Structure 1
Amino acid sequence: MRPAALTWRRHALAYVLIVVLPMVGGLALLLLNARPVARSAEASGMHGDLIGVLLVTVPIVLAIAHLCGAVVHRVGQPRVIGEMIGGVLLGPSVLGVISPGVQHALFPLEIMPIINAMAQVGVIFFMFGIGLELNAPGLRNNGVAAVVIGHAALAVPFVCGILLGLFLPASYQPQGAGRLPYLFFLGLAMSVSALPVLAAILRQRRLVNSPAGILGIAAAAIGDATVWCLLVVLMVFTGRGDSATVLRTAALTILFAVVMLAVVRPALRRGLARAERCERDHYLLQVVLTLFVLLCALAGEQIGVHPIIGAFVAGVVMPRSSGIVHDFLQRTEGLTLWVLLPLFFASVGLLTDFGALRDGTALLFCGLVLAVAVSSKFAGAMLGARLMGRSRGESVALGVMLNCRGLTELVMLNIGQSLGLIGDTLFSILVVTTVVTTMAAGPLLGLLYSPAPAEPDLGDSPHNPTDTSASGPGALPASASRRSSG
C-alpha cells in the first residue's frame, strides 16, 4: 500500500505542477490584461440566445417527429406520416393555440432562417435519392405501360386542378401571383405521387415484387420525373425577370441537363467502376460525391430554377448499381432522415394554420379539393391501366397507389409557397389533402390484397424502393380477381 500511495502522491504533485499551476497563471494573466471589447452587449446576448434556443428547439422537433413516427408505424402507417403530423403539432394550428407563448419562444422569427436552411439541405439530399430511384429496373421492364399510366395519372388531375382553380375564391390566389402560374402550379400540386412513401408502404406490405407493385413504382417514377420537369418550366416562366432572363434560364437549364446526361453520367460510370476495382478506402470518394450533390444544387440555384432540381438531376445521372454510391446513400440517409427532414416537417408545420379552415366555407372548399384530388388521380391511373389491358382489380390498386402524395407533395407545396404562388389557406388545404391521401393508401391496399407478414422494420427509408430481396409478392385474392376482371 505504501509504494502505491507514494506513486499516487507523486502523480498528483506532477499534475498540479505541470497542469494546474500553469492554467491558474494563464487565467490570472488574462484577467489582469482584460480590456473591454467594442461589441454590443445586446448583439452578444442575442447571439447566445439564438444558439440556446436552437439547441432546445432542434431536440424537441426531432423528439416529437420521431415519437409521432413511431406511433403511426405501430398502426401500419409509414413513419413519414407521423413526422408530418409532428410538424403540424408544433405549428400554429396546435401548439400555437394551446400555448402561443411557448410556440413563439421555441420558434422565434430570428431562428427560422437557420432551421429553414438546415431543412433545405435535407430536401436536397432527399431529392438526390429520388433522382437515383428513377434508374429502377421497373422502368425498363414496364416502359410503355409505366409511361401511359404515369402520364394518365398526371394529366387528368393536372387538368382537374386547373379547372378547380377557376372555381376557388379569388382570395386563395396571392397578390402578385399571375393567374397562369397560379393555375399551373395548382394543377401540378394535384398531380404529384410520392414515390419514396409509396415504396415504403409496398415494402411494408410485401407488395414490392407484385405485378401491380412493380408497375406502380415505375409509373410513379415516370409521373414524378415529368412533374419536376414541368415545375422547371413553371419556375422559368414565373416572371422573375424580363424575356431575356427567361430565355437565358431556359437555355442554361437545357444545357445543364444535356451536359449532365451526355458527359457527366458516362464519366461517373467509368470513374466509379474503376474505383471499385481498387482495394482501398473510398472515404475521399464519399467526400467527392457529397460535394458533387451540393455543387449540382448550387448550379440549379445559379441557373435560376431551384437547388432541388440540380440535386434531382445529380441523382438521375448517378450509377445506381455502384457499391460506392450505395454506401454514400446509406451514410447520408442517417443525417437526412433522422435530423434534417424532421426540421423540414417542422418548417412546413409552422406554415400550416388550420385555424383558417374553421370557417364553414373554407371547410367546404377543403372537402372539394380533397374530393377532386382523389377522384382525378384515381380516374387517371385506372383509365391508363385499363387502356394497357390490366385487370380491373389491378387498375384499382394502381389508382390507390398513385394517390399517395406524402413528402414529395410537401416539397412541392414548400416551393409554391416560396414562389408566392399559393396563399396560406390553400397551402393548409393542400397539406390536409396530402396527409389524408397518404394515410389512406396503406389501409386501402390492405383491403384489396390478401394479408401478408410485414417486412422487417427498415425505418421506412424513402430510398431504395426496388429492393427485390423481399419474398412472397402479394396477390389479389382469387375472389377479388374474379370480381374485378369481369
Structure 2
Amino acid sequence: MNTTEIFLIAMTIIFTVPYLVWRLGGTDYFAPLVVVQIITGILLGPGVLGKAFPDYYQFVFNPSVVQSLNGIAWWAVMLFVWIAGIELDLKQAWKHRVESGITAGLALGMPLAFGCVAALGMVAVPGWMGPRALSWQFVLGVGMSCAVTALPILILLMEKLEILRQPIGQRILRYASVDDVAIWGVLALILMDWQRVGKQLVFLIAFAALTWAMRRLMQAIPARDRWYAGLIWLALCALGADWSGLHFMVGAFLAGAVLDADWFDQAQMDLLRHHVLLVVMPVFFLSTGLRTNWNLGGSAVFIAAAALLLASVAGKLMGIHLAGRILGWQPGEASIIGWLLQTKALIMIIFANILLDKQIITSETFTALLLMAVASTMLTVPVVAPKLARIKALIHKSA
C-alpha cells in the first residue's frame, strides 16, 4: 500500500474508534468526546498498541504517515490556541480586578507551589528531566502544568452543566482568563533562550509594532475580511515566535490575545471552535498519544501521575477555598469553582507538548502529565453536577 492509503487508514482509526467508544459506551457524563479522543490517542501510542501489535503499529504509523499527521496537528492546535486567545475577556477581569486578582492568584499560586514540590521529588530520580532543561525550568514547568486551567474545555463543561451564561459561569471565566495570561507568560520565561535572547527581543519589539498596525487594520476592514486577516496574522506570529526560539504555540496565543472578540461574530466563533474540535483536533490527540513513553515502567509513570494529580487538585481547591474566605463567599461556592477550575485536558496537554519539544521534560514525564490531565478532567462533571443540584440558588449569584 502507498503512503496515501496508509494515511487514510490512520485517519479512519482516529475518527472511528473514539466516536464509537463515546457513543456506544455512553461516556459523556464523565468523559466527553474530547477526553475519549485523548485517551484513544494514548492507547494508539507506542506504549500500548505499539507493544501489543508492533508490526501493525509500524505499518500504520510509519515515519511518512506520522509526518503528515504532525502537520495537521500543528495547524489544528495553532487554530485552537488562537481562538482561546481571542476569547479571553480581560476587560471584565479588569472591571472586577480585586476579586479576580485574589481568586486567580490563589487558584494559580497554590497548585503551582504544590506541583513544584512534586517536581522537586522527580528531579532527584533520573529519567524525568529533559536533557536540555535546567532544574528550575523543569520544576517550574511541571509546577505550572499542575496549575493550568483549560479554558476551552471549561467552556464545554459549563455548557453541559448549563451554567456558562449564568453569573457564576461568567465569574469562573474571568478567573480562568487571568490565569491563562499568567500561564503563557510563565511559559515564555521558561523558554527564554539566553543564547538567542537577541532574536527574542527582536520578535517582541516587532510583535508590539505590528500589533498596533494589525489592530488599526482590523477596525478598518469589513467584518467578512477579518477572518482572513486574522489567519494570516496567526501564521506570521507563530512563525516569528518559533524563529526567535520561543514556540509557535506561544505566537499563536499572542496572535489571538491582542485581537478583540467583538471584532468577530460570536456565533461564527463558536462554530469555528466546534469545527476545529470536530475536524482536526482529533489528529492532534493522536499525535500526542504517539509521544507517550513507558520506559521507566508503567508503575513509575502511574505513581508520578497520581502524585501530580494530588498536587493539582488539592492545590487548586485549597487556593480557591482561601479566596472564598477572604472574599466572603457563600458555603459551597468555593468547592464548585475550585473543581471547575482544576479542569486540565487540552491546554495542559499543549503546554506539556511544548515542554517536550524543547526537551525540558522527557517522554515519561509527558506521559505522567497526560494521565494527570485526563484524570482531573474526568473528575470534574461527576463531582460538580451533584453539588450544583444541591445549591441551585448559587448559580444566580453575581459577583
Q: Indicate whether the TM-score tops 0.5.
A: yes
Amino acid of the residue matched to residue 133 of structure 1?
A: E
- The structure 1 residue matched to 2:105, chosen from 151, 155, 163, is 151
Task: Return the alpha-carbon distance in structure 2 between the equivalents of residues 357 and 72 of structure 1.
Answer: 31
One-letter code of the match for 2:68?
Answer: I
Deviation at 1:357, TM superposition (A): 4.6
Alpha-carbon distance between aligned partners in 2 of 1:72 and 1:416, rounded to the nearest angstrom = 34
Q: Is residue 286–residue 328 contact of structure 1 (8 Å, CA) maintained in 2?
A: no
**CA distance, structure 2, for counterparts of residue 326 and residue 317 of structure 1:** 20
Q: In the alignment, which residue of structure 2 is the partner of 1:218?
A: 174
Q: What residue is the counterpart of 1:446 in the other structure?
A: 385
**Per-residue deviation, 1:420:** 0.6
Alignment partner of 1:208 out of 164, 170, 174: 164
Q: Is the 8 A contact 1:90 1:96 kept in 2?
A: yes
Number of aligned residues: 394
CA distance in 1, matches of 2:152, 2:302: 29
**Letter aligned with residue 271 of structure 1:** A
**Counterpart pick for 1:84 among 34, 38, 44:** 38
* Correspondent of 2:360 among 417, 421, 440: 421
- 1:370 alignment counterpart: 309
Q: Give the equivalent residue in structure 2 for 1:99.
A: 53
Secondary structure (helix, strand or coil) at the match of 1:221 reads helix
Which amino acid letter does the alignment assign opposite residue 180 of structure 2?
Answer: D
CA 1:88–1:230 in structure 2 vs 1: closer, same or farther (change >3 Å)? same
**Cα gap change, 1:175 to 1:290, in 2 (>3 Å):** closer
SS of 1:110's equivalent?
helix
1:267 is aligned, of 187, 210, 217, to 217
* TM-score between the two structures when normalised by the length of structure 2: 0.89
Asked whether the equivalents of residues 72 and 79 of structure 1 are also in contact (C-alpha less than 8 Å), the reply is no
**How far apart in 2 are the matches of 1:194 and 1:176?**
27
- Are positions 1:314 and 2:270 aligned together? no
Q: Residue 449 of structure 1 aligns to a residue in which SS?
A: helix
In structure 2, how many angstroms separate the alpha carbons of the residues matched to 1:362 and 1:330? 37
The 1:159/1:328 distance shift into structure 2, 3 A limit, reads: closer
Give the superposition deviation at 1:136. Answer: 6.4
Ranges in structure 1 where 5+ consecutive residues have no aligned partner: 1-47, 277-281, 453-473, 482-486
The answer on 1:475 being equivalent to 2:369 is no
Q: In structure 2, do the counterparts of structure 1 residues 89 and 266 end up closer, same or farther at CA, with 3 Å as the change threshold?
A: same
Change (3 A) 1:322 1:69: farther
Distance in 1 separating the partners of 2:264 and 2:395:
38
The one-letter code matched in structure 2 to 1:236 is M
2:236 alignment partner in structure 1: 295
Letter in structure 1 aligned against 2:204: I
**Which of 151, 174, 181 does residue 137 from structure 2 map onto?**
181
Aligned partners of 2:140 and 2:92: how far apart in 1?
30
Contact 1:130 / 1:315 at 8 angstroms: preserved in 2?
A: yes
* Partner SS state of residue 64, structure 2: coil
Change (3 A) 1:256 1:143: farther
2:197 is the alignment partner of 1:246? yes
8 Å CA contact retained: 1:319, 1:325: no
Secondary structure in structure 2 of the residue aligned to 1:171: coil
TM-score normalized by structure 1? 0.74
Deviation digits for residues 72-113 of structure 1 (CA, Å, limit 9, x no counterpart): 554354321111112112112332233222222110123222
Structure 1 residue 207: deviation in Å? 1.2
Query: Aligned equivalents of 2:3 and 2:203: distance in 1?
Result: 38
- Higher RCO (CA < 8 A, seq sep 6+): 2
Q: Which residue of 2 aligns with 1:198?
A: 154
- Is 1:170 the equivalent of 2:126? yes
**3-state DSSP of counterpart to 1:170:** coil
SS in 1 for 2:317: helix
1:235 is aligned with what amino acid?
L
Aligned-residue offset at 1:351: 1.5
Distance 2:36 2:6 in 1: 24
The corresponding residue for 2:205 is: 255
Residue 295 and residue 73 in structure 1: after superposition, are their counterparts in 2 closer, same or farther (change >3 A)? farther
Indicate if the aligned counterparts of 1:136 and 1:218 stay in contact, CA closer than 8 A: yes
Partner of 2:133, secondary structure, is coil
8 Å contact kept, 1:68–1:83: no
* Shift of residue 409, structure 1, vs aligned partner: 0.7
Q: 1:310 to 1:366 in 2, by over 3 A?
A: closer
Residue 179 of structure 1, CA deviation: 1.4
In structure 2, which of residues 83, 90, 93 is the aligned counterpart of residue 129 of structure 1?
A: 83
- Contact kept? 2:168, 2:394, Cα under 8 Å: no
Aligned to 2:280: 340
Q: Secondary structure, in 3 states, of the residue corresponding to 2:389?
A: coil
Measured after TM superposition, the shift of residue 130 of structure 1 is 0.6
User: In structure 2, what residue type is equivalent to 1:246?
Assistant: V
Q: Report Cα offsets for 1:39-83 as digits up to 9, x if no partner.
A: xxxxxxxxx722221122112212223334444554354321111
Q: Secondary structure at the match of 2:116?
A: helix
Tell whether the 8 Å contact from 1:128 to 1:311 is kept in structure 2 after alignment. yes
Pair 1:412 & 2:351 matched = yes
Conserved? CA contact 2:86–2:257, under 8 Å:
yes
RMSD of aligned residue pairs (Cα, Å): 2.7
Does 2:298 match 1:358? yes
CA deviation vs aligned residue, 1:2-26 (integer Å, no higher than 9, x gap): xxxxxxxxxxxxxxxxxxxxxxxxx
Which consecutive unaligned segments of at least 5 residues does structure 2 have? none
CA distance in 2, matches of 1:257, 1:405: 29
Deviation at 1:200, TM superposition (A): 0.8
